[in-house]
Chains A and B, each alone.
Chain A
Amino acid sequence: MKRIIIADDSTTARMFIKRCLQIIGLGDAEIIEAEHGKEALTAAKAQPVDLLLTDLNMPVMDGETLVKWVKASPKLCDLPVVVITSAGNPAKEAQLLALGAHRVLNKPVSPPVMMEALADFIDEE
């Protein structure tokens, strides 16, 4: 079973992402919810995780800082990180990809977009 972290300070956004995951066939995955980057980082270090989905604009630790921490960690650097944000544009996307993000998706995310972004991940099932 896959283990996926969803980091977003909005309950609504986390619920939308969980629904998308269910629709695209990842309903069996164990979902770990985090309200900010620091909580997500702690969860990722505590147990093996297969995927990290994160917002950018969050209190305590934002998504960009989270990507930097994950990619700098020898233990977590191979963890795929998908950023799902309302604050993304091509310039920001390029910056996040350069930091090591796997994909950058714009909110509100839809199941087809999520499916396309996670195609490799789903194929591994």
Chain B
Amino acid sequence: MIKHNPLYQSMINAVSQTLENMVFIEVMEHFDQSYEIPAEDLVWNSLLINDPVQGEIRLAMPKTFLKELTGNIFSIDNDEITQPQLDDILNELLNTIVGLFLTNLLEDDQEYKMGLPELGEEGLPEYDANTITWKLMTDGEDALQIFATGASLVALKDD
């Protein structure tokens, strides 16, 4: 039996801590929970959690928002931004979010192991019964979506 804190709030706190500390942006739940990021403007990546539960976390956001973040972080104009910079920011955001999520979720004496972020190709995988979704937005109303999959991870969800 894994001792843990509330799963849903652990993720919201992790995303908020990451975005506020890295790019000074506030994050909240999206006012429209049916909102989907248009497929033609979508970028996403994923990271495996290997221990003590097994699952995958995916981060999705509009390309336009990722470009804006990248320009702000590297202090460069839009036409100077390179694809490796976009990829690196997306991966570092997910890496930090998942680390904080697991730190928030699990008890202090519980170690965890996570993999390395991987960029997603084509569209997001279909949701299934073992998927939890967080639909969030920034104070500038840019959408962010997080997906958690994997039976043992999702089993920790709040009652």
Contacts and interface: CB of A to CB of B under 8 A. Distances in A.
Interface in B95-149: 95-100, 102-103, 106, 108-116
Given A12-B88, A106-B103, A91 B110 contact: yes
Q: How large is the interface on B (under 10, 10 to 19, 20 to 34, 35 or more residues)?
A: 20 to 34
A92 B52 CA distance: 13
A63 B43 CA distance: 29
A86 B116 CA distance: 11
Interface string B24-49: 00000000000000000000000000
Nearest to B20: A108
B96 A92 contact: no
A87 B102 contact: yes
A59 B114 CA distance: 12
A12 B89 contact: yes
20 contacts: A10-B91, A10-B95, A11-B84, A12-B85, A12-B88, A12-B89, A15-B73, A86-B96, A86-B97, A86-B98, A89-B103, A89-B110, A89-B112, A91-B108, A92-B111, A95-B111, A107-B95, A107-B96, A108-B18, A110-B21
8 closest residue pairs by CB, A with B: A86-B99, A108-B21, A90-B108, A12-B92, A10-B92, A86-B96, A87-B99, A91-B111
